């Protein structure tokens, strides 16, 4: 009986620190989960690792070059080179101080060693270790709060850059459209002047040809139907008319050649202006496409930043909840530590009492053995039997009384210990 009671009490004493260890393990598991979530926190992100390896710039942002690529150089006339200057377009200076999103790979080796040591010592954590883990979680909370503010500032800077890029694109489009309209007006005016000159030249050529034909008919008439008796004055006048007509023809031929040269020049200028207009139209289309691409990239970046900010808000709220639970667990552990020490001291006292009672019981059992030996010896003598029987009865009565007292005391102690353990573990749970 006493051995069974002793074994039950020792098992309950052993189970109480195991439950305390289970509580400490649950707290340490929560701390470890918080540390792993901090390690995976704010990395922009494992999903964006491929984007980081492919792009040399910051993740999620593309550097858009608004300057047109250099075309192959070719010789032009001085007028065309002056007209083809594209310096009237405003140049966009890219935002140099881009924000580098910090990744969680920058965790120091000391933090990793601390996490490893805490994970290896989950079974026996002290109050100081739990308090240090709470301080680390609080430091990480403040660190990620600072990163959140940096992200908000960077988002505002991106919005400012977006507005600047839009204004620059609007200015370039307006200036390019104005330039295209001016060149179209110049081409139309030059075409009109060319047509006017061609018409005037054709009219003059027709008049001169009519004059030449009339003079030739006069010469033929004079040569064919001239009489030998006509005066030399008419011949001289005809010769003068011929010389004048030849001079006019030569001057007209020179003018025709000049006009042809001017026509060739105007045609070359017209081709150059057409090429310029086509190039400007291509630039306008390129600017429009770039604006669309920039708007798409900015929208994607805004969506990514919005999702990241939402995830960081959720993680911050989870960290706050974990901090509150850790504070509560610390308070519970601080209060429960003293109670467990008191219970352990009471259990030690009970064990000492049980050992004393078992020693007494062993002594009584030895006495009973001696009495039985005396019984065997006293069987030969009739006189001693009566005395021994009386002594045996008295000893048995004493033993029964002692056993009943021990049973009552042990039952009362067991009930008290069980009630205390139940109340304390219910409070902890």
pLDDT of 418 above 50:
yes
What is the reported pLDDT for 66? 39
Q: What average pLDDT does this structure show over 77-105?
A: 47
Per-residue pLDDT tens for 148-167? Answer: 888 888 888 888 888 888 88
Query: Given pLDDT bands bounded at 50, 70 and 90, which one contains residue 84?
Result: very low
What is the reported pLDDT for 274? 82
Phi, psi of 47, deg, nearest 5? -70, -25
What is the reported pLDDT for 258? 83
Between 81 and 112, the more confident residue is 112
What is the reported pLDDT for 93? 56
Per-residue pLDDT tens for 55-76? Answer: 444 444 344 443 444 433 434 4
Between 25 and 256, the more confident residue is 256
Q: What average pLDDT does this structure show over 78-102?
A: 48
What is the reported pLDDT for 58? 40
What is the reported pLDDT for 411? 75
Q: What's the whole-model pTM score?
A: 0.30
Query: Given pLDDT bands bounded at 50, 70 and 90, which one contains residue 35?
Result: very low
Q: Which residues of 125-143 are buried (b: 16+ CB within 10 A; e: fewer)?
A: beeebbeebbebbeebbee
What is the reported pLDDT for 425? 67
pLDDT of 229 above 70:
no
343 touches 420 (CB < 8 A) = yes
Tokens representing residue 212 in the block: 């030449």
What is the reported pLDDT for 124? 65
Kindly give, in sequence order, each residue whose CB lies less than 8 Å from that of residue 105, ignoring residues fewer than 6 positions away.
43
Q: How many CA atoms lie within 13 A of 291 on its CB side?
A: 17
What is the reported pLDDT for 238? 72
pLDDT of 232 above 50:
yes
pLDDT of 371 above 80:
no
Most confident of 2-16, 136-150, 222-236: 136-150
pLDDT of 216 above 70:
yes
Q: Which of 1-5, 36-40, 381-385 has the lowest mean pLDDT?
A: 36-40
What is the reported pLDDT for 79? 40
Q: How many CA atoms lie within 13 A of 266 on its CB side?
A: 19
Between 36 and 259, the more confident residue is 259
What is the reported pLDDT for 29? 65
Q: What average pLDDT does this structure show over 358-384?
A: 69
Per-residue pLDDT tens for 237-270? Answer: 777 777 887 788 888 888 888 888 888 888 888 8
Rounded (10°) CA dihedral 305, 311, 314, 319: -110
Mean predicted lDDT score pLDDT of the chain:
70
Q: What are the boundaries of each domain within the chain?
A: 347-428
What is the reported pLDDT for 47? 41
3-state SS string for the chain: CHHHHHHHHHHHHHHHHHHHHHHHHHHHHHHHHHHHHHHCCCCCCCCCHHHHHHCCCCCCCCCCCCCCCCCCCCCCCHHHHHHCCCCCCCCCCCCCCCCCCCCHHHCCHHHHHHHHHHHHCCCCCCHHHHHHHHHHHHHHHHHHHHHHHHHHHHHHHHHHHHHHHHHHHHHHHHHHHHHHHHHHHHHHHHHHHHHHHHHHHHHHHHHHHHHHHHHHHHHHHHHHHCCCCCCHHHHHHHHHHHHHHHHHHHHHHHHHHHHHHHHHHHHHHHHHHHHHHHHHHHHHHHHHHHHHHHHHHHHHHHHHHHHHHHHHHHHHHHHHHHHHHHHHHHHHHHHHHHHHHHHHHHHHHHHHHHHHHHHHHHHHHHHHHHHHHHHHHHCCCHHHHHHHHHHHHHHHHHHHHHHHHHHHHHHHHHHHHHHHHHHHHHHHC
How far is Cα of residue 260 from the mean position of the Cα atoms in its chain? Answer: 67
pLDDT of 367 above 50:
yes
Q: What average pLDDT does this structure show over 101-118?
A: 51
- Distance, in Å, from the CA atom of 410 to the CA atom of 355, rounded to the nearest integer, reads 12
Based on its alpha-carbon atoms, the radius of gyration of the chain, rounded to whole angstroms, reads: 57
pLDDT of 4 above 70:
no
Q: Which of 208-222, 226-240, 318-332 has the lowest mean pLDDT?
A: 226-240
Tokens representing residue 383 in the block: 């006189």
């Amino acid at each position: 009986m006493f051995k069974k009671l002793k074994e039950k009490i020792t098992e309950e004493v052993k189970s109480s620190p195991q439950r305390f260890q289970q509580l400490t393990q649950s707290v340490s598991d929560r701390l470890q989960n918080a540390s792993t979530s901090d390690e995976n926190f704010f990395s922009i992100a494992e999903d964006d690792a491929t984007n980081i390896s492919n792009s040399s710039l910051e993740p999620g942002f593309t550097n858009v070059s608004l300057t047109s690529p250099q075309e192959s150089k070719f010789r032009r006339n001085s007028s065309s080179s002056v007209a083809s200057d594209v310096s009237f377009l405003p140049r966009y200076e890219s935002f140099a101080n881009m924000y580098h999103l910090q990744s969680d790979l920058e965790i120091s080796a000391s933090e990793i060693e601390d996490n490893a040591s805490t994970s290896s010592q989950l079974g026996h954590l002290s109050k100081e270790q739990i308090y240090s883990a709470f301080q680390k979680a609080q430091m990480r909370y403040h660190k990620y709060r600072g990163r959140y503010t940096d992200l908000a500032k960077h988002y505002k800077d991106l919005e400012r850059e977006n507005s600047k890029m839009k204004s620059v694109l609007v200015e370039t489009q307006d200036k390019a459209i104005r330039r295209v309209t001016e060149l179209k007006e110049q081409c139309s005016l030059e075409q009109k002047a060319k047509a006017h000159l061609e018409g005037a030249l054709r009219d003059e050529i027709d008049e001169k040809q009519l004059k030449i034909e009339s003079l030739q008919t006069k010469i033929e008439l004079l040569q064919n139907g001239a009489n030998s008796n006509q005066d030399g004055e008419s011949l001289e006048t005809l010769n003068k008319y011929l010389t004048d007509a030849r001079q006019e023809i030569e001057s007209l031929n020179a003018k025709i050649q000049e006009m042809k040269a001017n026509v060739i020049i105007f045609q070359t200028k017209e081709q150059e202006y057409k090429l310029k207009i086509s190039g400007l139209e291509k630039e306008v289309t390129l600017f429009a496409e770039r604006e669309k691409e920039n708007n798409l990239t900015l929208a994607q970046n805004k969506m990514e930043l919005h999702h990241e900010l939402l995830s960081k808000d959720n993680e911050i709220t989870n960290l706050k909840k974990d901090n509150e639970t850790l504070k509560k667990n610390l308070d519970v552990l601080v209060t429960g530590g003293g109670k467990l020490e008191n219970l352990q001291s009471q259990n030690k006292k009970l064990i000492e009492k049980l050992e004393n009672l078992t020693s007494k019981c062993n002594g009584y059992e030895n006495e009973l053995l001696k009495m039985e030996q005396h019984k065997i010896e006293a069987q030969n003598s009739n006189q001693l039997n009566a005395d021994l029987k009386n002594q045996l009865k008295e000893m048995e009565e004493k033993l029964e009384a002692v056993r009943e007292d021990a049973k009552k005391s042990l039952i009362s102690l067991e009930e008290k210990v069980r009630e205390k353990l139940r109340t304390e573990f219910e409070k902890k749970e």
